[in-house]
Amino acid sequence: MSVHPTSHSFKDNASRAIADGSVPRALKNVRQNFIDKRVKAVDALPEFEALRESAREIKNHTLAHLDLYLERYEQKVKDSGGHVHFAVDSAEARNIVLDICRKVGARTVTKGKSMISEEIGLNGHLEAAGIVPVETDLGEYIIQLRGETPSHIIAPAVHLTKDQIEKDFRRVHTQLDPNRDLTEKRSLLTEARTMLREKFLAADVGITGANFLIAETGSSVIVTNEGNGDLTQILPRVHIVIASIEKVVPTLEDVSQILRVLARSATGQEMSVYTTFSTGPRRATDVDGPEEYHVVLLDNGRSAMLGTEFQDMLRCIRCAACMNHCPVYHQIGGHAYGWIYPGPMGSVLTPSLIGVDKAGHLPNASTFCGRCESVCPMKIPLPKMMRHWREREFERNLNPAVARYGLGFWAFFAKKPWLYNLSTRVAAKAMKLMGRNKGRFQSLPGLGAWTQYRDFAVPEGETFQAQWKKRAGK
């Protein structure tokens, strides 16, 4: 792990985001858009459910034979003249990339959007070695200007409003006309493109992530909407793909199946604007392409998830539908989760990768509303897996003593129907008396965490079971 996690202070992070208010405001502007577009795209494709099912099957099959497909992939990359490097953890992956850059004397590195690069903290590592990394995806470019990490896995700057971005551009692009018009979203993109053009040409190495790695052909696949990925991987002398091991799928046909659910789930597009395949370095007959082609395959805790109750998480294709539909994410944004992966997928994945002792809040901070699972194209049972994390915490005594004590106290009663019945009847009567003529409590001993924000309804004085008995006795 490299980017220093703050998941343990999730509560403070969340409260800060809420108090500041700019993040939920920015998200409010976009979230409905994601949701509406997805519904439209899904409704327009009758076989969407069937495709989901087959996408799930493809990944399940691959994960069951992951070693085999990784070997096959590696062989194919080598056959096409490329190099494959396996990295156990972030540190190893960073060093492999840095080594390659040093060997070719790289000074500037352009980058396509890659969450793995974020996970291993690549930019900081390159900078420390005197190499300039340049993010070329608009969202990544913006957060790089701000020194931030992405707050969303496909829309890294989604926590920012257009006005904030305009300010950043004016602050950094001082060589441009200060009176230029940046009111349109389009003009921001154009300006970023202008700034990036020379970087593309100056770059010695281009680094991209991968949405898929194809075992059958040794290709890597990226989907983008800006075309920046293509320039990143074609123009420089060296192309490095960094990807985690579970990105591999058996065949081209498999990729085309999964692609049909990916863009629809992510942005509501039928296909992303660019779907780009890269296979090995430039061949003698190719008109362009890199001279060297490297793939860095990162494990970083993933292989340890195989065979556990968290294996299903490795089906994830990073479409972000789960966070786009998450009521918790909507209120606090991605940074509150304290590490690279936010929202429901992060709440399952982060504890696997950095340890549940550091990320214990994440699987707990869910209402289990189930909307994430219902939209996940890979049918990943996200709430169920968050519950598994809670079970592990419970087994290891990691949850707060108060919660354990309260639960034990309640369970003691709940296991004895007569006692439970009696005590709920007494409680209902007592609360009725206490709350006489009020109808609601604005504060209640022991329930401060509830009544701080909302009233508590005074019960009618009799439990359902008691009322039923009375009626039956009549």
Partner 1 sequence: MVEVPPQTCCGQPAFNSGDRRTARDLALQMIEAFERFDYVVVPSGSCGGMIAKHYPELFEDDPGLSVRAQKLAAKTFELVSFLTDVLGIMQVEAKHAGTCTYHDSCSGLRELGIKRQPRQLLGSVEGLEMVELKDSEVCCGFGGTFAVKYGPISDQIVTEKATNVNATGAKTLLAGDLGCLLNIAGKLSRMGSEVEVRHVAEVLADMTDRPAIGKMGAST
Strand order across the beta sheet in which 205-208 lies: 83-87, 292-298, 238-244, 205-208, 108-111, 132-135
- Give the contact letters, 182-221, x = binds to partner 1 (CB under 8 A), - = no: ----------------------------------------
Asked if 454 touches partner 1 (CB under 8 A), the answer is yes
Distance separating alpha carbons of residues 50 and 47, to the nearest angstrom: 5
Pairing of strands 238-244, 132-135: unpaired
Minimum Å distance from CB 316 to ligand SF4? 3
| SS3 state of residue 52 | helix
Q: Distances in Å between the alpha carbon of 367 and those of 73, 292, 362, 371? A: 40, 48, 11, 10
321 binds ligand SF4 (CB under 6 A): yes
Distance CA 149, CA 4 (A): 11
181 binds, among partner 1, ligand SF4, none (CB under 5 to 8 A by kind): none
Among 68, 88, 201, 407, binds partner 1 (CB under 8 A): 407
435 binds, among partner 1, ligand SF4, none (CB under 5 to 8 A by kind): partner 1
Supply the minimum distance, in Å, between the C-beta of residue 221 and ligand SF4. 16
Smallest CA-to-CA distance from 294 within 65, 90, 99 is with: 99
What 3-state DSSP class applies to 142?
helix
In angstroms, what is the minimal distance from the CB of 301 to ligand SF4?
Answer: 17
Decide if residue 317 touches ligand SF4 (CB under 6 A).
yes
What is the residue whose two structure tokens read 């901070």?
A: 365
Among 390, 425, 429, 462, binds partner 1 (CB under 8 A): 390
Rg (CA), the chain: 26
* Residue 106 touches ligand SF4, criterion: CB under 6 A: no
Q: Any residues with CB less than 8 A from the CB of 213 and at least 6 apart, and which?
A: 73, 219, 220, 221, 241, 243, 247, 248, 249, 295
Q: What's at 53, amino acid-wise?
A: E
Q: Would you give the distance in Å from CA 249 to the centre of its chain?
A: 20
155 binds ligand SF4 (CB under 6 A): no
Is residue 316 a contact residue for ligand SF4 (CB under 6 A)?
A: yes
CB of 209 to ligand SF4, least distance (A): 14
Choices 3-11, 116-124, 310-318, 384-392; region in contact with ligand SF4 by CB under 6 A:
310-318
Q: Confirm or reject binding of residue 55 to ligand SF4 (CB under 6 A).
A: no
Task: Choose from ligand SF4, partner 1, none: what does 86 bind? Cβ within 5-8 Å by kind.
Answer: none
Of residues 358-397, which lie at the interface with ligand SF4 (CB under 6 A)? 376-378, 380
**Choosing among ligand SF4, partner 1, none, which partner's interface includes residue 417 (Cβ < 5 to 8 Å by kind)?**
partner 1
Using the rule CB under 8 A, is 440 a contact of partner 1? yes
Complete DSSP assignment for 73-130: HHHHHHHTT-EEEEESSHHHHHHHHHHHHHHTT-SEEEE---HHHHHHTHHHHHHHTT
- Of 78 and 425, the one with the shorter C-beta distance to partner 1 is 425
Nearest to 389 by CA among 60, 55, 52, 7: 7
Contacting residues toward partner 1, per CB under 8 A: 11, 14-15, 18, 24, 327-328, 330-332, 364-371, 373-374, 384, 387, 389-395, 399, 403, 407, 410-411, 413-418, 420-421, 432, 435-440, 442, 447, 449-450, 452-461, 464-465, 468-469
